[in-house]
Amino acid sequence: MEKNKRSSIFNLPRWLQTLIVLAISSALVFLIAILLGDLRYVSNLYFYVTFTLFIIAIIPIILEILSSGKIASKAVKKGENVSEVLKEKQKVYKQRANLTYVFGFGGIITFLLSIITALMI
């Protein structure tokens, strides 16, 4: 029997996920710059997108720290082996780490685009 796999952005390679984030970010930057009536805003808007992407990249790290602490404390209270409980959580950790890499790398690239567009415009 074939399992029906749902297609998801999480199943794509990391570089393609980053490219999608950059494409969406760039489209928003240029759309907002056009709506504001001046393409000289592109550099500043890329800079704001950089901060936004870095904040999004930090959220999974914070959630991971909080949830690991919560799970560990519950396991200790129940007398369970903490390392075994945390191993079960490894799949969620990998997915959150992937989000951190994608949005963090996207933030670095948009920061470079901010500098490049500031020099060009």
Residue 2 in this model has a pLDDT that exceeds 50: no
Q: CB atoms < 10 A from the CB of 96, how many?
A: 17
| Per-residue confidence (pLDDT) for residue 1, from 0 to 100 | 41
How far is it between the farthest Cα atoms of the chain?
Answer: 63
Asked whether residue 104 is domain-assigned, the answer is yes
What is the DSSP track for 54-98? HHHHHHHHHHHHHHHHHHHHHHHHHT--HHHHHHHTHHHHHHHHH
| Per-residue confidence (pLDDT) for residue 63, from 0 to 100 | 86
| Per-residue confidence (pLDDT) for residue 75, from 0 to 100 | 75
Q: Who has greater pLDDT, 61 or 7?
A: 61
Name the 3-class secondary structure at 8.
Answer: coil
Contact (CB, 8 A) for 107 and 53: yes
* Domain limits for position 86: 13-120
CA distance 33 to 28: 8
pLDDT in tens, 103-121: 999 999 999 999 999 999 7
Number of domains comprising the chain:
1
Type and span of the H or E element at 35: helix 14-36
Asked whether residue 22 is domain-assigned, the answer is yes
pLDDT in tens, 45-97: 999 999 999 999 999 888 888 887 787 787 778 777 777 777 777 767 777 78
Sign, CA dihedral 18-22-28-32, equals: positive
| Per-residue confidence (pLDDT) for residue 111, from 0 to 100 | 97
Asked whether residue 3 is domain-assigned, the answer is no
pTM of the model: 0.79
